Structure 1
Amino acid sequence: MLVKRKETIRSEKAEVAVPVRPMNGGNGLYSYSKNSTFQRKAIEAAKELINKAIAEELDIKTLSSSNTFKIADLGCSVGTNTLLAVQNIINAVEHKFHSQGKHTKLPEFQVFFNDQASNDFNQLFTSLPSEMQYFAAGVPGSFHRRLFPNNSLHFVHSSCAAQWLSRVPEAVQDKSSPAWNKGRVHYSNSTAEVIKAFEAQFAKDMDNFLKIRAQEIVHGGLMALILPGRLNGTPHTDAYINKAFELVESSLIDMAKKGIVRVEEVDSFNIPIYYASLQEVEAAVNRNGSFSIEIMENIPHEKPQPKVMSITLRAGLEGTIKEHFGDEILDELFDILLRNKLEESSLIAESCKSVGLFVLLKHKPNE
């Protein structure tokens, strides 16, 4: 029997069950470290915006008297993407100090790499450069809960991670609910009730995420969020990344028709992910009130070729799918996805929009 593992996280009000769903670890054929170019492109696209934010918005004088600059990368996963993001931030902070004539007073840097406890931290740590400019530490746990002491972080970064929800919305798993997502595993091409349930879950999670980060980040500190998403006003079905997930859904439905997986297994499976627009993120920031929006832009996100997209999806979804269906179906599922879905649908996907969201927030000073 396949035992579903869950990690329980605590908030001030309630307990939330969070499925353990790390990206594929190791350095093998389907590992995240070898198949995350799509995510790396987002970090590269945001580099100049982060440089601009640090140059213009980082107030060195108010941040720390300890001469230690603390950075956290939330949802760091494995491989070198997180190392690239961290190095970009450190380079920009050093440039900020140099521009103010502080050549002899550069801070020491402490970097916290965060992800689920079952993330392959060993693979991550073996990727660390031999000569680091910072002190590194791993912080296991969901970013949907508190991870750091009050007022301890100067810069928080999170890329291609905050689209993962803390849980599947309860309504879409309730057979008596109008939002029951029967016969589907994704929300974008489902009913209006299902879409509203996922929208509401994202809003709830983002509200909690911002509340927690407001406790952890020093006043005047910065937070950069990079999210695969969709343009304001764009229907969910017109977002390229959602189209890819719809094809995963279609592949599972085909397998159910062939008896490879049970129909009931498909009915009870939903991918806990949501792709937002800038308007939705802005609304959450405004509700929270602890941060000012310094930069908010759509950034380009290229569309991978079908084979690359298939392996990218496998590197990111394999753990979640295996947890529900078992690992016996994985090869056939992603073979169907590549042969019968992605290649045939490439022309349709070309008409869809592929964008990333970049949001740079500043923790408002004490009033």
Structure 2
Amino acid sequence: MEGEETKAFPMKGGDGPYSYAKNSHYQKTFVDAVKAMIDEAIADKLDIKHFSTTSSPFRIADFGCSVGPNSLNSMKNIVEAIEIKYHSEGLSLKIPEFQLFFNDHSSNDFNTLFASFPPDRPYFIAGVPGSFHGRLFPKASLHFVHSSYSLNWLSKVPKEVFDKNSSAWNKGKIHYPTSKIEVVEAYSTQFVRDMESFLLARAQELVFGGLMTLIIPGLADGFPISKSFTTMLDLVVGSCLMDMTKMGLVSEDKVDSFNFPIYNPYLQEMEKLIARNKSFSIVRLEVVDRGQGNASTPSVEAATMGLRAVTEEIIKEHFGSEIIDELFDRVSKKMKEFPHLLDISKNATQIFVVLKREDYDP
């Protein structure tokens, strides 16, 4: 993957009413749902005795940190769980200093992210701009890797979906869940390439015995893609864009040349991908429901704001900023007109992964 062009798809920055920082509650429910699982993995599987020394810091990286409280809370929870691990192993006097790295594309709003950190934080922080589909750290320099709601973003949209001569041309649609099988396969193939690159890079950066925890929007094996939460992009945002083409507000060619670079894998896809990379063993791999089954239907306002925070920047880059308010006004009205679309959120699931770095060089 190194040397290949990757695109940046930042969330809405700042701390305004439409920002990701103010509208990432949906993602937080999943982060909260797996906190105890991450604590358990650290307690049972993190080999701190292999690198328990106060002479160098314990290094933790969050890949695709974006902006807002979720990354901060996740990293804080991980640090606390590691400290508990040191105490439980009788190594209280050897608890190291912690250095936390926050990675995302250079277009990410790092200023707002770092301004949200408490001044009396018990760790050191640094920003690391760049694509996580390639190497970002020296070899064997990280002890713990985390990524949440990032790996479902592809490095780029598969080129086939824009090719009028391809069987995977996705005309009239902006995503894959309700498209023909050739489009789905193009997205899946791109996801495989990206994940293989991600795992290869992290295998080189993690120390032996280190852990990696991943939270990826995904699906249980056999669950219909067309009924998954990601169909909201097509059923709501996509249909509103097509309505705007009929009114001459957006050109049809513009819509045909736009697709969201997002893919939600099946559990079996993830398992096969990881198995091919012999540098990691699977500690945990499972599908988790939002709130462990206690999901509630969001309000129209919350759903609209959440969609806008995640998609506004990429839509604006392609269509221009002048359509944004009109588009999301229509999104809100469509969800009020068809409230059953909000029920799709109850189908939202994530794949939770814990991997351990084994003594194998890629």
- TM-score (normalised: structure 2): 0.94
Equivalent residue, structure 1, for 2:18: 30
SS at match of 2:27: helix
Give runs of aligned pairs for residues 127-142 of structure 1, distance below 5 A.
127-142=116-131
Equivalent residue, structure 1, for 2:259: 270
Counterpart amino acid of residue 174 in structure 1: D
Q: CA deviation at 1:75?
A: 0.6
Q: Would you say 1:184 and 2:173 are equivalent positions?
A: yes
**Coordinate RMSD, CA, aligned:** 1.5
Give runs of aligned pairs for residues 62-141 of structure 1, distance below 5 A.
62-63=50-51, 65=53, 66-141=55-130
CA contact (8 A) 1:183 1:253 kept: yes
SS at match of 2:322: helix
Equivalent residue, structure 2, for 1:145: 134
Q: CA deviation at 1:366?
A: 4.2
Whole-Å separation in 2 of the counterparts to 1:292 and 1:34: 36
Q: CA deviation at 1:102?
A: 1.6
Of 219, 230, 234, the residue aligned with 1:230 is: 219
Counterpart amino acid of residue 363 in structure 1: R
SS at match of 2:21: coil
Whole-Å separation in 1 of the counterparts to 2:255 and 2:36: 42
Whole-Å separation in 2 of the counterparts to 1:291 and 1:248: 38
SS at match of 1:156: strand
CA contact (8 A) 2:34 2:352 kept: yes
Q: CA deviation at 1:305?
A: 2.4
Counterpart amino acid of residue 353 in structure 1: N
CA contact (8 A) 1:240 1:349 kept: no
Of 215, 225, 242, the residue aligned with 2:231 is: 242
Of 343, 348, 352, the residue aligned with 1:350 is: 343
Of 290, 299, 303, the residue aligned with 1:305 is: 299
Give the unaligned 5+ runs of structure 2: none
SS at match of 1:297: strand
Q: CA deviation at 1:230?
A: 1.6
Please give the per-residue CA displacement for 1:136-166, whole angstroms capped at 9, x wherever unaligned: 0000011111111110111110001100001
Q: Would you say 1:327 and 2:321 are equivalent positions?
A: yes
Q: CA deviation at 1:62?
A: 1.3
Please give the per-residue CA displacement for 1:107-143, whole angstroms capped at 9, x wherever unaligned: 1100000111011111011001111111000000111
Whole-Å separation in 2 of the counterparts to 1:245 and 1:28: 26
SS at match of 1:104: helix
Q: Would you say 1:49 and 2:32 are equivalent positions?
A: no
SS at match of 2:20: coil
Counterpart amino acid of residue 338 in structure 2: S
Change over 3 Å in CA distance of 1:21–1:211 after alignment to 2:
same
Q: Would you say 1:287 and 2:281 are equivalent positions?
A: no
CA contact (8 A) 1:318 1:330 kept: yes
Q: Would you say 1:314 and 2:308 are equivalent positions?
A: yes
- TM-score (normalised: structure 1): 0.93
The percent identity for this pair of structures is 49
CA contact (8 A) 1:151 1:217 kept: yes
Q: CA deviation at 1:18?
A: 2.3
Whole-Å separation in 1 of the counterparts to 2:37 and 2:202: 21
Q: CA deviation at 1:37?
A: 0.5
Equivalent residue, structure 1, for 2:186: 197
CA contact (8 A) 1:290 1:364 kept: yes
Say how many residue pairs are matched. Answer: 354
Please give the per-residue CA displacement for 1:232-257, whole angstroms capped at 9, x wherever unaligned: 11121111233344311111111111
SS at match of 1:17: coil
Whole-Å separation in 2 of the counterparts to 1:349 and 1:277: 22
Please give the per-residue CA displacement for 1:57-102, whole angstroms capped at 9, x wherever unaligned: 0011113544421000011011111110001100100000011122
Whole-Å separation in 1 of the counterparts to 2:216 and 2:304: 20
Whole-Å separation in 2 of the counterparts to 1:246 and 1:186: 10
Counterpart amino acid of residue 311 in structure 1: M
SS at match of 2:37: helix
Whole-Å separation in 2 of the counterparts to 1:344 and 1:237: 20
CA contact (8 A) 1:182 1:267 kept: yes
Which shows bigger deviation, 197-206 or 61-70?
Answer: 61-70
Q: CA deviation at 1:355?
A: 0.8
Counterpart amino acid of residue 63 in structure 1: F
SS at match of 2:94: coil
Equivalent residue, structure 1, for 2:8: 20
Of 157, 163, 187, the residue aligned with 1:168 is: 157
Q: CA deviation at 1:343?
A: 2.7
Whole-Å separation in 1 of the counterparts to 2:157 and 2:340: 31
Counterpart amino acid of residue 169 in structure 1: P
Give the unaligned 5+ runs of structure 1: 1-9
Whole-Å separation in 1 of the counterparts to 2:8 and 2:322: 19
